[in-house]
Amino acid sequence: MRACVNRKEKYLIAKRKVLAYKQINLVNAASAPRDLRRSISVFVALPIILVTLGIAPFPARATDYSVTVPFPVRTADWEDTAGLFIAPPQQSMTPDGTGHTEFYMAPVQGRSQVFITSIFEYSEAAPVGLRWKSTSTGSEIPLSEDLSEAVPGWSQRTMRLPASLAAQGGILIISGDQRVIARVRIDWLEPTETFVAVDQAIPGLIVGGRMIEAAMLSGRAELSPPDAWFGNVLEASLQEEPTSLDGGVVFEVPFEESLGTILFKAKFQGVMLGDGVEVWINDVLIGSIQPTAPPLTDPGYLRLADQRVIYAGWRDGAIFIPSGVLGAGDNTVVLRPATPGCSVRDAALQIMVPIEVDSTDPIDLGWPTN
């Protein structure tokens, strides 16, 4: 008698096969020497599920490629990577760590774009920077003098290599204190179509579950967003550049009248995972902001020597301000972190403008009277 297996049972069988497959590969990876692997290799298990379920897998785009290079660079571990490099990388540095790493990039074909993500700790003496060297002329072009923007702590910065340079091929140089660089990730990506609502910023890259705005991929110092209207919501900026949170930060907020629906938002760096930042308004504690934790696929997660896991880079956080807390006149908003070494940027208030009493409410939450 032939057993009858339904679609759900097929899925569970396939899932067990995938888990077993991943367990075997985790064991093999633990005993293997450190090397360079395609990030797309983690998707090898996906066709197993789809084939078992009788569904054709999505076609892979061979032009998409990602490689993560741990530091210090060991050229003995270097493998051929689909012809995207013309030679293994070379790293040199002085006894104090100052030096550079060179990646010999082959010319990019077609419409692919190249993105470089650096994970590093701030170095005041020799900040981490990027530059490009032409193999034909020998001339160098600075891409970013200081990726950290002089903000202490562990940082993460992604920039797009200009298409004109990528098409020529050349040498990507990462300069500065080589000891503070944890790893570098390089992505070659084909453009994809997406749709963005008119009141949203246009993303230039999606990586690790995060959307990075196109303006933040230039390598230049990031500017705080200006005041802007989104429908009946005003976003008012409170700062122009990153600020250390050590000792607390005070924002002065004058209002002509009391407003009821307000959200305080900002980006935080250096706040330990699980910790928060206290928010005091007019000397009253209204709560604590716990910055969001990006997905674990984000390249910013680092495991330190003492086995602690930290996140390198900025994380978003927000808190709703109760009605009447920010009143007419001068107000103060004070941020106090739980641990030292934290910074804040892009602090802003989102204010929902009250709707006129005689206007039609755009959302009717009331029950019909008839």
CATH of the domain at 245: 2.60.120.1200
Q: 245 with 332, same domain?
A: yes
Instruction: Check which CATH number belongs to the domain holding 118 and give it.
Output: 2.60.120
* CA atoms of 53 and 60, how far apart (whole Å): 19
pLDDT of residue 32: 37
* Residue 89: CB atoms within 10 Å: 19
Give domain status of residue 53, yes or no.
yes
Number of domains composing the chain: 3
Distance of alpha carbon 36 from the chain centroid: 22
pLDDT of residue 317: 97
* Residue 163: CB atoms within 10 Å: 13
Sign of torsion over alpha carbons 159, 162, 166, 170? negative
Q: 44 with 68, same domain?
A: no
Question: Higher confidence at residue 281 or residue 225?
Answer: 281
Give domain status of residue 67, yes or no.
yes
Q: 65 with 213, same domain?
A: yes
pLDDT higher than 70, residue 31: no
Mean pLDDT of the chain: 80
Q: 323 with 267, same domain?
A: yes
Give domain status of residue 362, yes or no.
no
Question: Higher confidence at residue 54 or residue 185?
Answer: 185
Q: 54 with 67, same domain?
A: no
pLDDT higher than 50, residue 72: yes
Sign of torsion over alpha carbons 29, 31, 34, 36? negative
Residue 356: band (very low, low, confident or very high) from pLDDT cuts 50, 70, 90:
low
Q: Where is average pLDDT lowest: 42-46, 146-150, 309-313, 353-357?
A: 42-46
- Strand order of the sheet with strand 284-289? 249-255, 329-337, 277-281, 284-289
Q: Which domain holds residue 276?
A: 228-352
pLDDT higher than 90, residue 261: no
Distance of alpha carbon 345 from the chain centroid: 15
pLDDT higher than 50, residue 24: no
Give domain status of residue 247, yes or no.
yes
Give domain status of residue 121, yes or no.
yes
Measure the CA dihedral 68/70/75/78, to 10°.
-30
Q: 199 with 278, same domain?
A: no
- The residue from 58, 83, 103 where one domain ends is 58
Mean pLDDT across 347-368 = 67
Of 217, 248, 253, the C-alpha closest to 234 is: 253
Q: 154 with 121, same domain?
A: yes
Residue 222: band (very low, low, confident or very high) from pLDDT cuts 50, 70, 90:
confident
Residue 218: band (very low, low, confident or very high) from pLDDT cuts 50, 70, 90:
confident
pTM: 0.76
